[in-house]
Amino acid sequence: MQKNYFQKDMETMPIEEIKKIQNEKLVKQVKYVYDNVKYYRDLMDKKGVKPEDIQSTDDLYKLPFLKKDDLREAYPFGLLATDIKNCVRIQSTSGTTGKRVVAFYTQNDVDVWEECCARAIVAAGGTNGDVCQVAYGYGLFTGGSGLHGGSHKVGCLTLPMSSGNTDRQIQFMMDLNSTILCCTPSYAAYIGETLKEKGYKPEDNKLKAGIFGAEPWTEEMRRDIEKSLGIKAYDIYGLTEISGPGVAFECEEQNGMHINEDHFLVEVIDPDTGEVLPEGSKGELVFTSLDKEAFPLLRYRTRDICVLSREKCSCGRTFVKMTKPLGRSDDMMIIRGVNVFPSQIEAVLLNCGYAPNYQIIIDRVNNTDTFDINVEMSKEDFSDTPKVITNKEKQLQSAMKAMLGINPKIHLVSPKSITRSEGKAVRVIDNRKRLGITV
Ligand code: DLL
């Protein structure tokens, strides 16, 4: 079988040479951050680390970690490393307690990011002869623009569909002969079901591959999607803070994702102690950007729990592989591809005059996430007129939508009806766990 790479020399470089490149880039990136980002310089000074102390990746452990809370504290410009005039793009994702994470990009940062996505598309068999339908959301979310840029770099005919409007997705897919589909796995499954409902068989479409990520999915779901669309389904991983999709991607082995190690240095740590764990251990992924200009992050804690493997891969790529995220070390939920924190829900409840007595119930029905929130009314609020309650539920739902970007179903329940816990309150009931979906 012919092997395909977007940047063959880099993707198949012997590991010793990759390490050399990483060492050189790391020394430069640390000095760049120290000189240009006061927030991180203060963290380094507090820890007594100077840029000169970092001579190679072996010294990485000396650097302080960055966490989502730091991004919140430094919001919006505190981690920006260059003049805003040099930036050409902002992307964003939800953060804790409602403050969004804002990431900045120079043109060079965008180019590197899109190249990483192009590597993923080529690894999934993409060429300039393909029609690539991008059905991730466009806008502040990185999914749409990342895969869109990658598709351009490969030279595919790019269909910038964004997510939603499934009938139109299907019409374009059929009329324009889409060969690659990029979207969240749950949306891919939904498209597959809708095609079937419309009477199409898997062989009726021209799709050959899908590049699916941004949320956890199982091997079972992969098999279902592959069957319903008649394709090979590849996983792709990334996070806004570290650029977006394309931090890691699956190859033809479909068994773990290669991390683009020439741009992102990876460590696995014990989430409780912060201690760096030996390769092969299960722990939290930590990324250090190696050549970012606008928003370089050193030792950023992702909260994603994974295992790394350097076992030789039959695709010929030498980059380390990560497993699918096996869980999170914080309370972030991913619902319909959107990151949601219980603290955001609490903030909306308090703003709208409710006490934080609530329960979130998540499930996956027909491959789509359901999202319900039970909220207790106070004695004063309580009404037994259904219309009054329905109106209040609608108001709360639109406040939630404004904060989270997705619509939960709100159920106002009578005072004191949510079971009180004697220990930690059980705020989240995630029934997707029964399907093996761990986040
Ligand atoms: O989800 C970027 C992305 C877009 C990745 C499109 C892949 C495809 P955020 O919205 O910042 O960025 O969410 C990042 O999503 O820390 C993981 O917990 C989760 N995540 C991302 N990819 C995967 C995946 C985008 N393939 C957070 N499997 C990350 C499981 C994933 N979880």
pLDDT mean for each 10 residues of the chain (439 residues): 88 98 98 98 98 98 96 95 98 77 97 98 98 96 97 98 95 98 93 94 98 91 94 98 98 98 98 96 97 98 96 97 92 90 88 89 91 91 85 95 94 87 75 80
Contact call for residues 166 and 194 (beta carbons, < 8 A): yes
Relative to the CA of 238, which ligand 1 atom is closest?
5
User: CA-CA distances (angstroms) from residue 329 to 167, 214, 431?
Assistant: 38, 17, 18
- Whether the bond into 76 is cis, omega within 30 of 0: yes
Residue 405 beta carbon below 6 angstroms from any ligand 1 atom: no
Which residue carries 């029609």 as its tokens?
131
CA of 213 to the centre of ligand 1 (A): 6
Contact call for residues 213 and 184 (beta carbons, < 8 A): yes
Contact call for residues 217 and 211 (beta carbons, < 8 A): no
Rounded Cα distance, 241 and 110, in Å? 13
Rounded to the nearest 10 degrees, how much is the dihedral formed by the CA atoms of 64, 69, 71, 77? -110
Ligand 1 binding pocket mutation candidate from 138, 334, 338, 438 (most atoms within 8 A of CB): 334
**pLDDT at residue 383, rounded to an integer:** 79
CA of 200 to the centre of ligand 1 (A): 30
SS3 211: strand
User: CA-CA distances (angstroms) from residue 72 to 75, 94, 387?
Assistant: 5, 10, 39
The tokens describing 69, both together, are 């809370």
Rounded Cα distance, 249 and 226, in Å? 17
Terminus-to-terminus CA distance in the chain, angstroms? 36
**pLDDT at residue 425, rounded to an integer:** 67
Architecture of domain 1-330: 3-Layer(aba) Sandwich (3.40)
**pLDDT at residue 98, rounded to an integer:** 64
CA of 355 to the centre of ligand 1 (A): 32
Whose C-alpha lies nearest to ligand 1, atom 29?
A: 239
Relative to the CA of 325, which ligand 1 atom is closest?
30
CA of 70 to the centre of ligand 1 (A): 20
Residue 144 beta carbon below 6 angstroms from any ligand 1 atom: no
**Within its chain, how far is the Cα of 404 from the centroid?**
15
Residue 239 beta carbon below 6 angstroms from any ligand 1 atom: yes
Residue 243 beta carbon below 6 angstroms from any ligand 1 atom: no
In the chain, where are the structural domains located? 1-330, 333-435
Residue 242 beta carbon below 6 angstroms from any ligand 1 atom: no
Q: Which helix (H) or strand (E) holds 119?
A: helix 107-123
CATH tag, 333-435: 3.30.300.30
**pLDDT at residue 96, rounded to an integer:** 65
CA of 32 to the centre of ligand 1 (A): 27
Which residue carries 């953060």 as its tokens?
95
Helix axis angle, 107-123 relative to 142-154, nearest 10°? 70
Nearest to 57 by CA among 15, 94, 27, 90: 27
Nearest to 180 by CA among 239, 237, 136, 114: 136
**pLDDT at residue 220, rounded to an integer:** 84
CA of 151 to the centre of ligand 1 (A): 19
Whose C-alpha lies nearest to ligand 1, atom 4?
A: 143
The tokens describing 35, both together, are 């000189």
Residue 210 beta carbon below 6 angstroms from any ligand 1 atom: no
